[in-house]
């Protein structure tokens, strides 16, 4: 009986999230007469499609050319999900996706495909994507506010579907007020549900296996891209859908470059290599960084710096508790690094949110609460010595304090040296 209830709850999670969004919008003064729209994104030719994470969070749908509309009035709220229309010809090229199905004649009842979409998404109103504009005429005519989701880094990001849509709407409904839905949905996404944390633990377990492979294969003479290939082979062979972000494999001078992604250098004896990697599983991300000695042992100087980063990590963890703020976690790490005499070599934040995005949504002005997942990633980067160290763990806030989800990935210097002292394995091509 209990298993049956858990299964039913899992099926309803997206409906529950949409309900929570409606409740959040209703609390806003402009939300009583409004329309909210989220798009899944457009598919690019020969590029694996990833849905917009806000859209996926509220629908569980990973299809391109899909949209969610929520219409609020003072009396009620309605939702409609627009999915790709059935296209057997396209399916020959790209495979089967969830579709809108259609209505049967003569009674206009949902056909099998539409009933399946209704059951999967827990949304009773399903239509084809091309019907979106017609369906919006009445809601927009009555609405005062339109909520759309926009890129956080709009100046750097390409012009997206929401921006183009707004230009079209504004020309026809200039009286509408525009609000950023992404900031509002971030309030919900910041606190993870049990099903989200379970998916992240799966991504972390795969990333842990990749780190194990690093310690068994790393040696002088290996190229960074060879290590990257090994890591990403482990990801895919263990069922990850892909990468949470481009793998960072920075050795020697590139260990001091935070987002180095060329991964072309041949690693030398005496180098350190920073491996900042993460698998994506169930659309959720892991984000783990470890720093390894290419020769298998840290030099005295490297170990001193490494231990200072470890101390900063411990200090940051001690600051992790409900009610604390992310800036307090950062200050704890910064103070520890300053105490060790390396303050000028630490120049980035200690934490960011983690979830469907590697840098997940949510305000940093809110206190930590149970269910929030953050990274802890202090680092020291001494460019003049080609000596960079970063250690990053994924942490979920609990009622008691915190749980390090990446605790099983070796990080103590002695533990890493012991693992790397085991017989070397040769990568088979």
Q: Tell me how far apart the 2 most distant CA atoms of the chain are, in Å.
A: 81
Strand, coil or helix: 67? strand
For every residue of 84-143, DSSP letters joined together read PPP-HHHHHHH--------EETTTTEE-HHHHHHHHHHT-S-EEEGGGHHHHHHHHHHH-
Domain 2-189: give its CATH superfamily: Creatinase/prolidase N-terminal domain (3.40.350.10)
Say if CB 52 and CB 189 are below 8 A apart. no
pTM equals 0.93
Q: What is the pLDDT of residue 325?
A: 98
Share of the chain above pLDDT 70, in %: 96
Q: Give per-residue pLDDT as tens, 263-283.
A: 999 999 999 999 999 999 999
Q: Mean per-residue pLDDT for 49-70?
A: 95
Q: Return the domain boundaries, the chain.
A: 2-189, 194-420
Q: Read off the pLDDT band of 42 (50, 70, 90).
A: confident
Instruction: Indicate if the pLDDT at residue 183 is higher than 80.
Output: yes
CATH class of 194-420: alpha beta
Confidence of residue 11 (pLDDT cuts 50, 70, 90): low
Burial class (CB in 10 A: 0-12, 13-18, 19+), 363: exposed
Q: How confident is the model at residue 193 (pLDDT cuts 50, 70, 90)?
A: very high
The pLDDT tens digits for 225-239 are 999 999 999 999 999
Measured between alpha carbons, how far is 330 from 338 in angstroms, rounded to an integer? 12
Element containing residue 35 per DSSP (H, E): strand 34-39
Domains 2-189 and 194-420 share a fold: no
pLDDT score of 46: 77
The pLDDT, as a whole number, for residue 351 is: 98
Nearest C-alpha neighbor of 297 from the set 225, 219, 224, 226: 219
Residues 394 and 222 sit within 8 Å (Cβ to Cβ): no
Summarize pLDDT for 138-149 with one digit per residue, the tens.
Answer: 999 999 999 999
């Amino acid at each position: 009986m209990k298993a049956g209830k858990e299964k039913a709850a899992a099926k309803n999670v997206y409906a529950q999230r949409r309900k929570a969004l409606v409740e959040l919008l209703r609390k806003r003064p402009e939300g009583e007469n409004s329309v909210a729209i989220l798009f899944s994104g457009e598919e690019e030719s020969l590029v694996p499609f990833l849905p917009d994470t806000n859209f996926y969070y509220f629908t569980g749908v990973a299809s391109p050319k899909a949209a969610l509309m929520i219409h609020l009035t003072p009396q009620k709220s309605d939702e409609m999900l627009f999915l790709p229309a059935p296209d057997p010809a396209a399916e020959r090229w790209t495979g089967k996706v969830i579709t809108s199905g259609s209505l049967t004649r003569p009674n206009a009842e949902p056909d099998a495909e539409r009933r399946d979409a209704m059951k999967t998404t827990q949304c009773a109103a399903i239509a084809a994507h091309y019907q979106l504009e017609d369906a919006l005429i009445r809601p927009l005519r009555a609405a005062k506010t339109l909520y759309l989701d926009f890129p956080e880094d709009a100046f750097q990001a390409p012009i997206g579907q929401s921006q183009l849509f707004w230009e079209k709407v504004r020309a026809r409904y200039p009286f509408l007020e525009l609000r950023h839905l992404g900031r509002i949905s971030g309030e919900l996404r910041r606190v993870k549900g049990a099903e989200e944390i379970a998916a992240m633990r799966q991504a972390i377990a795969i990333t842990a296996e990749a780190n194990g492979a690093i310690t068994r294969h790393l040696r002088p003479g290996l190229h960074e891209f060879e290590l990257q290939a090994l890591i990403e082979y482990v990801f895919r062979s263990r069922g990850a859908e892909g990468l949470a972000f481009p793998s960072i494999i920075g050795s020697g001078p590139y260990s001091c470059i935070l987002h180095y992604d060329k991964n072309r250098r041949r690693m030398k004896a005496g180098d350190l290599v920073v491996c900042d990697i993460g698998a994506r599983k169930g659309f959720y991300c892991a984000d783990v960084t470890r720093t390894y000695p290419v020769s298998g042992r840290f030099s005295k100087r490297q170990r001193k710096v490494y231990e200072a980063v470890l101390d900063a990590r411990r200090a940051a963890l001690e600051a992790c508790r409900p009610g604390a703020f992310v800036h307090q976690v950062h200050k704890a790490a910064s103070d520890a690094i300053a105490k060790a005499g390396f303050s000028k070599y630490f120049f980035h934040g200690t934490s960011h949110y983690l979830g469907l995005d590697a840098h997940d949504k949510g305000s940093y002005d809110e206190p930590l609460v149970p269910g929030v997942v953050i990274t802890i990633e202090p680092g020291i980067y001494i460019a003049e010595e080609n000596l960079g160290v970063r250690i990053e763990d994924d942490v979920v806030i609990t009622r008691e304090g915190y749980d390090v989800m990446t605790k099983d990935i070796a990080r103590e210097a002695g533990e890493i040296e012991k693992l790397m002292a085991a017989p070397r394995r040769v990568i088979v091509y």
